[in-house]
Amino acid sequence: MKRRVAILISGRGSNMTALLEAARAQDFPAEIVVVISNRADAAGLAKARSSGVPTVTIESKPLGKDRAGFEAKLQSVLDEHRVELICLGGFMRLFTAEFVQRWYGRMLNIHPSLLPSFPGLDPHGQALRAGVKISGATVHFVIPETDAGPIVMQGAVAVRDDDTAETLAARVLEIEHRIYPDALRLVAGGGTRLEHGICKTDAYGSPDDSLISPEVI
């Protein structure tokens, strides 16, 4: 039985598109049953509709800081579509601790850094200013603290000396599109478990998989 998934977006939904494409596979253990946005002008809504996925808009602006009011409407939509898992894809609204706890272990987010390094805004700028040689993206379960939940999967890229925040972001985005579908496959397929705030998985990389940067030849 495929797990029923909602994707929450606020903008173009590039990670949403990667998830939708992955979910078309016959053996993918999840199906995207609804895409929800807090903005009617989110470009990703049209992409979702063109893929045959129902969309719902819950405008957050009229509700202002009333997070509980927004979440009550959101939960109603999630219940209506019998959603089991949530994937955040550039969803630019914070949740209350109560909502996050309700969905603990069932709500995923992706962040463009190797958490716990560089959480929050401008992760690529943070990485460049710190002078790291490797950066990447992280799929994690959502907890009340921002970008701090149990890590499901990470992917890395080398940081180049001539990188700007924009060029680094472009390469990291490619990694995001690779690991988010794989992370959802792992979670929806029952390949993860949470133990004392750490995500354990049944998947392992090859023991000689490595990324060293800069590489000395």
Output the CA angle 81-85-88, nearest 5 degrees: 100
Instruction: Calculate mean pLDDT across residues 54-65.
Output: 90
- pLDDT for residue 217 is more than 90: no
Task: Say what the pLDDT of residue 202 is.
Answer: 80
CATH number at residue 114: 3.40.50.170
Encode 189-213: b = buried (16+ Cβ within 10 Å), e = exposed. Answer: beebeeeeeebeeeeeeeeeeeeee
Considering its fold, how many domains does the chain have in total?
A: 1
What tens digit of pLDDT does each residue of 128-140 get?
999 999 999 999 9
Q: Is residue 203 part of a domain?
A: no
Q: Which amino acid is at 115?
A: L
- pLDDT for residue 207 is more than 70: no
Tell me if residue 140 is catalytic: no
- pLDDT for residue 206 is more than 70: no
Q: Is residue 207 part of a domain?
A: no
Q: Is residue 212 part of a domain?
A: no
**In the predicted model, what is the mean pLDDT of the chain?**
95
For CA atoms 198, 109, 48, 165, give the dihedral sign: negative
Q: Is residue 89 part of a domain?
A: yes
Q: Is residue 211 part of a domain?
A: no
Task: Say what the pLDDT of residue 216 is.
Answer: 84
- DSSP string across the chain: -PEEEEEEESS--HHHHHHHHHHTSTT-SEEEEEEEES-TT-THHHHHHHTT--EEE---GGGTT-HHHHHHHHHHHHHHTT--EEEEES---PPPHHHHHHTTTTEEEEESS-TTSS-SS-HHHHHHHHT-SEEEEEEEE--SSTT-SPEEEEEEEEPPTT--HHHHHHHHHHHHHHHHHHHHHHHHTT-EEEETTEEEES----TT----SSPP-
Q: What is the pTM of this model?
A: 0.95
**pLDDT cut 70: percent of the chain above it:** 98
Q: How confident is the model at residue 190 (pLDDT cuts 50, 70, 90)?
A: very high
- pLDDT for residue 80 is more than 70: yes
Q: Is residue 208 part of a domain?
A: no
Instruction: Calculate mean pLDDT across residues 154-160.
Output: 96
Task: Say what the pLDDT of residue 65 is.
Answer: 83
Task: Say what the pLDDT of residue 215 is.
Answer: 79
Of 111, 124, 140, 177, catalytic: 111
Domain of 113 in residue numbering reads as 3-193
Instruction: Calculate mean pLDDT across residues 163-185.
Output: 98
What tens digit of pLDDT does each residue of 8-42 get?
999 999 999 999 999 999 999 999 999 999 999 99
Q: How confident is the model at residue 208 (pLDDT cuts 50, 70, 90)?
A: low
Q: Is residue 163 part of a domain?
A: yes
Q: Which residues pair with 16 in a beta bridge?
A: none
Q: How confident is the model at residue 210 (pLDDT cuts 50, 70, 90)?
A: confident
